[in-house]
Amino acid sequence: MPRKKLIKNNIVILLTFLLGIFISFNSVLAESCPALTTVQGTNVNFVGELTDTGGDAINFVWFEYGQTSMYGQKTTEKTLTQEGVYCISVSGFSPCTTYHYRAVAKNSAGTSYGENKTFTTTCGSTTVDIKANGSDGPVTIPYNNSANLTWTSSNADSCYASNAWSGTKAISGSQSTGSLTSSRTYTITCTGSGGSVSDSVNVNVGIQVYADFSFNKTVRNLSNGTIFSESVYADPGEVLIFGIMVKAGSNPLYNVVIKDTLPSGLIYQGDLRIDNVLIAGDILTGLDIGNFSAYQKKTITFRADIGGGENFNFGQTQLTNTALVSSGAISYSDTAKVIVSRAAVAGTATEVTTGLTNNIFFDSFLLPLLITLLIIWLFKSRIFKFEEWLDSRKKEYQIYKSKKILQIKVAKIKAKEFFNQRII
C-alpha cells in the first residue's frame, strides 16, 4: 500500500475514534443533566434541548440571562454533534433576585432562540447582630451613664425591639440607651424571606456611687477692688464678679451641671470661665462642666453688672444670687449677697397744711402773690445773697461729679486689668 494512502486511512480512523468519544461524552452529559433548570442558593444549572441539528455535524449551544428580558449576559458555549438534552452551570448570582433566560443554538443555517423563562435565586437565612459599645456583651457601665447600641441584619425586611426598649427599628442602625441606673437587656428581632431571628445584649450598671463634693458661691466688687466673699456692698452701675468653686470628694463626679439664678437688678455680662479659661455656654440655663476625678477642683467665674439707680429704692437693697450644682440625683445650692446702696433724699413730709385762713380767695391767690413779691424784693435787695449761695452749690456739685467720673474710670481700668489676668 502506498505510503500516502496509508496516512490518509490512519487520519480517517483517528477522526472516527475522536468523533465516537465526543458523541459518547455528549451522551454522558445529557444523561447527567436534570430534567429542568435548577437553582441552589445563588448557583444555577441551566438545562436545554437541541431538537434538530439541521444536518450539521457540529452545533453550538449556550444560554443568555439577565434581570430583564434584554438579558445582557451569556454562559460559555458548548458544542453538540447530535440532538439531545444539555446543561451549563453558572454560579455567583445575586440572592433573592429574579432572572430571565433563554436557550440559544447556532449552526451553519443561523441562530435559533428558545422561549423566555425566569428563575429566582434563594434569599438565604435572615440574620441580625446587636452590640453595646461595640461588644456582644455583656458590658458594664458606670451608674447613671449610657451605652451605645448598634445592630446590623441581612436578608431582613423589618425589625422591632423588645425587653428594655420597644418599637419598630431600621434593619441596621444605632441608638443610645440613655442614662441607666439598673441593668437592662436589649433584644431586636428581624424578619425576612428567610424567617425571623432575634439577638440580645446585656448592659450591666455598676454600683451607685453617691455624689461626694463641696462647693462655695462668692462675689467681689470689681469696681471697688474687694476680694471674694459671701457678700459685698455696691452702688448702682458697678461691676461684680461671681465665683463658684466645686471640689470632688474621695469619689469621682459625673455629669456635673451648674445653674445660676440672677435676681432682678443684676445684669449678666458673660466672661464665663473655668479655671480662668474662657468658655462658651450659658450658666443661667445650665452649664455642664463634665466629670471630676477624686479630689479634683474647678472654679467657675462670670461677670454681672448692677443696674442703674432707677432700678432701686432709696436706701439699701439686698440682692441674693443663688447657684445650684448637681451630679446625678444629688444637688446642692449656695448663695452670695449684694447690698446695693442708693442715696436717699433728706426730709419727709408728715402733714399737709390747708391754708393760713379760712378765706379760699386769700389763701389760694393773694397770699401766694404777696409771698412771691416778697421773695423778689429780697433777691433784688441782695439781703440773702442767693446768687453767691447758688454759685457755691454749683462748684460743690462739679467737684462731686469730677470725683465720681474719676472713680468710674479707675474701676474700668481695674476691670480691664482683672479680665486680662485674674487669680481667684
162 and 98 co-located in one domain = no
91 and 198 co-located in one domain = no
231 and 333 co-located in one domain = yes
139 and 114 co-located in one domain = no
State residue 278's pLDDT score: 92
Strand partners, 292: 253
User: Is the peptide bond between 138 and the residue preceding it cis, with omega within 30 degrees of 0?
Assistant: yes
Domain residue limits at 250: 213-342
Amino acid at 411: A
Give the end of a domain, one of 72, 89, 120: 120
How many structural domains comprise the chain?
4
Please compute the mean of the pLDDT values over residues 328-335 and round it to a whole number. 81
Whichever domain contains 239, its CATH number is 2.60.40.740
225 and 289 co-located in one domain = yes
Is the pLDDT at 311 greater than 80, yes or no? yes
What gap in Å lies between CA 413 and CA 363, rounded to an integer? 58
Q: What is the DSSP string of 378-392?
A: HHHHTSS-HHHHHHH
What gap in Å lies between CA 133 and CA 114, rounded to an integer? 56
Whichever domain contains 178, its CATH number is 2.60.40.10
Please compute the mean of the pLDDT values over residues 5-25 and round it to a whole number. 43
pLDDT band at 238 (very low <50, low <70, confident <90, very high): very high
Percentages helix, strand, coil for the chain, rounded to the nearest 5? 20, 45, 35
Compute the mean pLDDT over every residue in the chain, rounded to the nearest whole number: 82
State residue 365's pLDDT score: 61
85 and 61 co-located in one domain = yes
Is the pLDDT at 7 greater than 50, yes or no? no
pLDDT band at 12 (very low <50, low <70, confident <90, very high): very low
310 and 249 co-located in one domain = yes
- 3-state class of 100 per DSSP? strand
- Burial of 200-224, coded b for 16+ CB within 10 Å and e otherwise, reads bbbbbbeeebebebebebbbbbbbb
What gap in Å lies between CA 63 and CA 103, rounded to an integer? 5
pLDDT tens by residue, 260-297: 989 999 999 989 999 999 988 899 998 988 888 888 89
Cβ contacts of 115 within 8 Å, gap of 6 or more: 102
276 and 332 co-located in one domain = yes
What gap in Å lies between CA 148 and CA 176, rounded to an integer? 5
State residue 185's pLDDT score: 96
Nearest Cα to 71, choosing from 39, 118, 112? 118
Grid cell at residue 300: 467657675
pLDDT tens by residue, 152-170: 998 888 999 999 999 999 9
- 3-state class of 195 per DSSP? strand
Give the end of a domain, one of 83, 98, 120: 120
In a domain, 144, yes or no: yes
Is the pLDDT at 422 greater than 70, yes or no? no
